[in-house]
């Protein structure tokens, strides 16, 4: 079993039984696991973090109409599906990791329509590991009571990222 498999099993256990799960009690009763793409080693990228970007404050709208504030921390560039793309990473005031919210060509069909997230750790050598196999849906994908930042337009990709979590099946079947 891979580290990713273990991570996914633990997440499914949390979602299915933990009182702090984003699922409602009714959803937890029929929950059988989240749906994921198969692990794709090609979508685990070690990239230079370009910090030569404006470190301005970004206000992200949320799913409930609120706002959350982040600072642009840098960007990463790479090729996917034959397309050159760039994604911005953001820093929150009290977070140790960088926040990478994104939408891609699978959003709204294979994956949650508003987008998915990743947490990325900056390394001492100036790189980051962006492992899309760990891309996850925000909690508002499971329960509209949660308030989730909406990925800014600068992080909307035309290319598909077929890795990580897929759209949640309300019936609880993987």
pTM > 0.75: yes
- Residue at 110 is within a domain: yes
pLDDT of 173 above 50: no
Identify whether the C-beta of residue 55 lies closer than 8 Å to the C-beta of residue 71.
Answer: yes
Q: Bigger pLDDT: 10 or 81?
A: 10
Identify whether the C-beta of residue 138 lies closer than 8 Å to the C-beta of residue 131.
Answer: no
Give the mean model confidence (pLDDT) for residues 82-100: 92
Domain count, the chain: 2
Q: How confident is the model at residue 174 (pLDDT cuts 50, 70, 90)?
A: very low
- Do 53 and 112 lie in one domain? The reply is yes
Dihedral of alpha carbons 156, 98, 12, 80, sign: positive
pLDDT at 171: 55
> At 44, is the secondary structure helix, strand, or coil?
strand
Task: Residue 8: name the closest of 28, 37, 29 by CA.
Answer: 37
- Do 11 and 70 lie in one domain? The reply is no
Identify whether the C-beta of residue 97 lies closer than 8 Å to the C-beta of residue 121.
Answer: yes
Q: Torsion over CA of 143, 158, 152 and 24, rounded to 10 degrees?
A: 10
- Do 55 and 119 lie in one domain? The reply is yes
107/63 Cα distance (integer angstroms): 15
pLDDT of 129 above 90: yes
- Do 8 and 52 lie in one domain? The reply is no
- Do 85 and 9 lie in one domain? The reply is no
- Do 25 and 98 lie in one domain? The reply is no
pLDDT at 170: 63
pLDDT of 168 above 80: yes
33/50 Cα distance (integer angstroms): 37
- Do 87 and 10 lie in one domain? The reply is no
- Do 21 and 76 lie in one domain? The reply is no
| Burial group, residue 150, by CB count within 10 angstroms (0-12, 13-18, 19+) | middle
**Domain range holding 11?**
1-34
pLDDT at 120: 95
């Amino acid at each position: 079993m891979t580290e990713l498999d273990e991570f996914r099993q633990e997440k499914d256990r949390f979602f299915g039984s933990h009182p702090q799960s984003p699922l409602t009690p009714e959803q937890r009763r029929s929950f059988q696991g989240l749906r994921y793409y198969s692990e794709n080693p090609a979508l685990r990228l070690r990239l230079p973090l370009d910090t030569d970007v404006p470190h301005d404050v970004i206000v992200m709208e949320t799913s409930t109409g609120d706002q959350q504030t982040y600072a642009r921390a840098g960007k990463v560039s790479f090729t996917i599906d034959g397309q050159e793309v760039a994604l911005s990473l953001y820093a929150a005031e009290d977070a140790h990791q960088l926040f990478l919210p994104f939408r891609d060509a699978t959003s709204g069909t294979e994956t949650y329509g508003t987008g998915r997230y990743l947490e990325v750790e900056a390394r001492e050598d100036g790189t980051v590991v962006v492992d899309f196999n760990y891309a996850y849906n925000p909690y508002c994908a499971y329960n509209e009571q949660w308030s989730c930042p909406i990925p800014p337009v600068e992080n909307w990709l035309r290319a598909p990222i077929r890795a990580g979590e897929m759209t949640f099946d309300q019936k609880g079947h993987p």
